[in-house]
Amino acid sequence: MVNKGIKKLYTFLIFSFLYAPIIVLIVFSFNNSKSRGVWAGFTLKWYIELFKDAEILKALYYTLLVAVLSAIISTVIGTFAAIGIYNMPGLNKKIILNLNYIPVLNPDIVTAVSLMALFRFLRIEFGFATMLLSHVTFCTPYVILSVLPKLKQMNKHLAEAAMDLGATPFYALRKVVIPEIMPGIITGGLMAFTLSVDDFVISFFNTGNSVSNLSIEIFSMTRRGINPVINALSTLMFVSLMIMLLIINKRTEKNEIERGV
């Protein structure tokens, strides 16, 4: 009984440590003062100011656009790459997996500078395209690592059985393999989206003067002081993400119940 209580206390302290900064941020997004250490009363003015700030809205637009596009592209590439890796013979599979681990284990600064050097070597003009390409490169290995476990859990004879019954390889992939690994694909897509929104280093080194995402915009604000509208924006993003996760989890549970899992 004592051990159970200690475990609960430990879990509570861990989650408190993780979420306390977010709770403070949410509370101070309603603060009537620019100070982040003094409560001056409740207000919604920072939420109103948020939708009047053209620079923040432009940065948010590029952040979400790059995140959505990079998540979609890296999820498609990562899913097919994971299927290809899964069906490889032993030695080749190990080599490709180890190569896939390198971008994950590499410090972001190494990946960022490497991509910047590559774009300069290829004489690609820095801007939206280079930022998108760098985010796709950065996110794809995480998608592969999310999809592979689901492929290992799947019965490897399902696709063969479908083709024995007359299905083409593409039809078997679309109707048998993809539905079986869909939880891993969704997880990989969400991870790619989150990593893209969160990234600063790779974005900073691989963007142009005309394109700036939220992380770069907030970094530039640190020199002159953080605008409290960032608290409001962060709160809206956190709430939106929580709602999206709840909807996805609910739909996943519903699909598993329908399939009898």
- Domain at 173, CATH number: 1.10.3720.10
Residue 1 has pLDDT above 70, yes or no: no
Residue 216 has pLDDT above 90, yes or no: no
* Domain count across the chain: 1
Residue 85 lies in a domain: yes
Residue 94 lies in a domain: yes
Residue 76 has pLDDT above 60, yes or no: yes
Residue 236 lies in a domain: yes
Which is more confident, 71 or 40? 71
Residue 27 lies in a domain: no
The residue segments making up the domain with residue 137 are: 52-259
Residue 182 lies in a domain: yes
Going by pLDDT thresholds of 50, 70 and 90, the confidence category of residue 130 is: very high
Residue 187 has pLDDT above 60, yes or no: yes
Residue 71 has pLDDT above 80, yes or no: yes
Residue 43 lies in a domain: no
Going by pLDDT thresholds of 50, 70 and 90, the confidence category of residue 250 is: confident
> What are residue 42's phi and psi, to 5 degrees?
-80, 140
What pTM does this model have?
0.83
Residue 23 lies in a domain: no
Going by pLDDT thresholds of 50, 70 and 90, the confidence category of residue 70 is: very high
Give residue-wise pLDDT tens across range 105-115.
888 899 999 99
Mean pLDDT of the chain: 85
Whole-number pLDDT of residue 144: 93
Residue 118 lies in a domain: yes
